[in-house]
Amino acid sequence: MTAAIALSTRGLNKRFGSLVVASDIAISLPRGVRYALIGPNGAGKTTLINLMTGMLKPDDGQILLGDKDITRLEPQHRVKLGLVRTFQINTLFPNLSALESVTLAVCEREGIAPTWWRGLSSFRAATDEAYEILKSLNLANDCYRPTRELAYGRQRLLEIALSLAARPSVLLLDEPAAGVPKDESQGLFTAIAGLSQDITILFIEHDMDVVFRFASRIIVMVGGRILLEGTPQEIAEDPRVREVYLGGRDG
């Protein structure tokens, strides 16, 4: 796993009937880079994450994690290899506490989740690690409360905490700040920016301030295709991007 490219796709295609949601997607994410994936609604951004994580099966094409072809692997096996995602709509465990939720994710990573004859409290390393992850995201004070009682912004952080428990090498964040007020979303992205530089991150985001501030490179998708890939400056100056995305609708 020392390849310079952390995650790449080749000729990825997916259609639902006559609707093309992914067309010849070829991207490669170098290790440690912070990528933003932008594009208008319906451009196929979430679909691309679903394809890469195995929640959707591509019609054809290839997905590689490092040098390893993962195109046919089940989602949970991709997670085990370090390709982890979060969800645009909170996909949490409402009646479990934050500590239980993250402990569960640690247990799954460590392969101790099938153990049924020993109490959870005897797996101290797992709970300690879960607590440290929650603390690093400022969730320590809320970690004993059921998830459903947490404020929405805290639940968004728990989304990320769950993904970190899987020790990702590549992290795909599907609108991590979706539904969070603008003043809170900066804090959320500061937390994301503070994650280990060993983790390659791709995030979907609509707020251009956030994108330009936190992404080192940007991918623009339109109509199921990659329109452009480049540095924030290249993207900002590209007339096509301005037309389809940045200023297209407002004139």
Partner 1 sequence: MTATTDAAFSTQKYLQSRARWSPIEIVFWLATLLPFFLFPNYLSLASQIAITALFALSLDLILGYAGIVSLGHAAFFGLGAYGAGIFSKFVWGEPLTGLVVAGAVAGIVGYATSFIIARFRHLTLIMITLGLGFLVHELANSAHFITGGADGLQGVRIWPIFNYFRFDLYGYTAYSYSLVVLFLTFLVARRLINSPFGLALQGIRENSNRMPAIGANSRAHIRKIYTISATIAGIAGGLLAQTTETVSLGSIDFQRSADVVVMLVLGGVGQLYGGLVGAVIFMVARDQFSGLNPQFWYFPIGVLLVAVVMFLPGGILGGLSRLTARIRRRWS
Q: Are 7 and 64 in contact (CB under 8 A)?
A: yes
- Tell how many helices (H) and how many strands (E) occur in the chain: 9, 11
Both structure tokens of 80: 């085990």
Residue 116 in the binding site for partner 1 (CB under 8 A): yes
Strand partners, 83: 170
Residue 37 in the binding site for partner 1 (CB under 8 A): no
Residue 128 in the binding site for partner 1 (CB under 8 A): yes
Q: What x/- string results for residues 68 through 97 when contact with partner 1 is judged by CB under 8 A?
A: ------xxx--xx---xx-x---xxxxxx-
- Range 148-167, binding partner 1 (CB under 8 A): 162-163, 165-166
**Helix axis angle, 152-164 to 182-193, nearest 10°:** 20
Q: Are 85 and 53 in contact (CB under 8 A)?
A: yes
Task: Classify 26 as helix, strand or coil.
Answer: coil
Nearer to partner 1, 16 or 116 (CB): 116
Residue 145 in the binding site for partner 1 (CB under 8 A): no
Residue 188 in the binding site for partner 1 (CB under 8 A): no
- Give the residue among 64, 25, 65, 36 at the shortest CA–CA distance from 169: 65
Residue 119 in the binding site for partner 1 (CB under 8 A): yes
Binding site for partner 1 (CB under 8 A): 53-55, 74-76, 79-80, 84-85, 87, 91-96, 99-101, 103-105, 107-109, 112-121, 123-124, 126-128, 130-132, 135, 140, 143-144, 162-163, 165-166
